[in-house]
């Protein structure tokens, strides 16, 4: 099985998370977010360098609001240029460093708790690649492990039919701008919310949070 990859770390390396803002205690809510067309401007030709990172309006504020409301933020992004040979994972790490930096500049609570990506090309049939749900599965288990101070050296992630006893996802959601995002959400069993790629998460965050700041 072709598994998800993680930003600047091996998949099951220990994950240290920042505390949630405003004294929020995590109660299991995760915001699973696609990247391009949700947080930053997407492109048919991919986002290929840190210089090409352009945040969508109010994306940082929206992520800050979600964390202030008690959500952990997990990015789940297909990044086939790696397997296609256009560039490598180090370049993607640089892109994600830039993304994190831009978000925090606009809203100091807009921290991405975990970034997962699928480096695989469509024809490889990876479980990690949306519309499959491998990144969401890994995201849930890594966030749960980090939240409970689990021993990551003995962590064994479970996927697909092998993962039988799954936690409740009814308070979580997935935002994406494409059909593959909604298919991954449905396959995983979490509410999928489709956004306009020209507007991104700021266009749907009110409906998620009920207009509350």
DSSP string, 68-118: HTT-EEEEEEE-THHHHTSS-HHHHHHHHHHHHHHHHHH-TT---SEEEEE
36 is catalytic: yes
Catalytic residue among 34, 107, 109, 181: 34
Phi-psi region of 210 (alpha: psi -120 to 50; beta: other; left: phi over 0): left
Work out how close the CB of 38 gets to Mg ion at its nearest, in angstroms, rounded to a whole number.
6
Binding mask 147-186 for Mg ion (x = CB under 5 A): ------------------------------x---------
Q: Return phi, psi of residue 122, to 5°.
A: -55, -35
Distance from C-alpha of 135 to C-alpha of 115, rounded to nearest angstrom: 9
Residue 34 vs 107, nearer CB to Mg ion:
34
88 is catalytic: no
Distance from C-alpha of 73 to C-alpha of 37, rounded to nearest angstrom: 16
Q: Return phi, psi of residue 162, to 5°.
A: -70, -20
Contact 58, 202 (CB under 8 A): yes
Contact 37, 181 (CB under 8 A): no
In the list 37, 81, 119, 134, the residue contacting Mg ion (rule: CB under 5 A) is: 37
Which residue stretch of 35-43, 52-60, 85-93, 121-129 sits at the interface with Mg ion (rule: CB under 5 A)?
35-43
Regarding 109 and contact with Mg ion (CB under 5 A), the answer is no
Which residue stretch of 1-9, 37-45, 84-92, 129-137 sits at the interface with Mg ion (rule: CB under 5 A)?
37-45
In the list 34, 61, 137, 169, the residue contacting Mg ion (rule: CB under 5 A) is: 34
Work out how close the CB of 132 gets to Mg ion at its nearest, in angstroms, rounded to a whole number.
16
Residues near Mg ion (CB under 5 A): 34, 36-37, 177
Which residue numbers are catalytic?
Answer: 34, 36
């Amino acid at each position: 099985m072709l598994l998800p990859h993680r930003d600047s770390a091996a998949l099951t390396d220990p994950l240290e998370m920042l505390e949630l803002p405003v004294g929020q205690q995590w109660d299991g809510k995760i915001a699973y977010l696609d990247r391009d067309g949700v947080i930053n401007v997407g492109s048919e030709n991919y986002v290929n360098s840190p210089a090409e990172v352009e945040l969508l309006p109010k994306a940082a504020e929206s992520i800050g609001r979600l964390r202030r409301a008690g959500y952990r933020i997990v990015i789940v992004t297909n990044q086939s240029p790696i397997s296609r040979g256009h560039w490598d994972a180090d370049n993607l790490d640089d892109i994600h460093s830039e993304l994190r930096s831009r978000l925090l500049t606009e809203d100091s609570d807009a921290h991405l708790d975990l970034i997962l990506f699928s480096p695989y090309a469509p024809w490889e049939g990876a479980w990690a690649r949306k519309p499959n749900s491998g990144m969401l599965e890994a995201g849930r288990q890594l966030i749960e492990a980090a939240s409970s101070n689990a021993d990551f050296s003995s962590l064994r992630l479970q996927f697909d039919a092998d993962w039988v006893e799954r936690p409740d996802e009814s308070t979580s959601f997935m935002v994406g701008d494409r059909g593959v995002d909604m298919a991954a959400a449905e396959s995983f069993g979490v509410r999928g919310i489709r956004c306009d790629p020209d507007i991104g998460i700021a266009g749907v965050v009110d409906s998620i949070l009920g207009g509350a700041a």
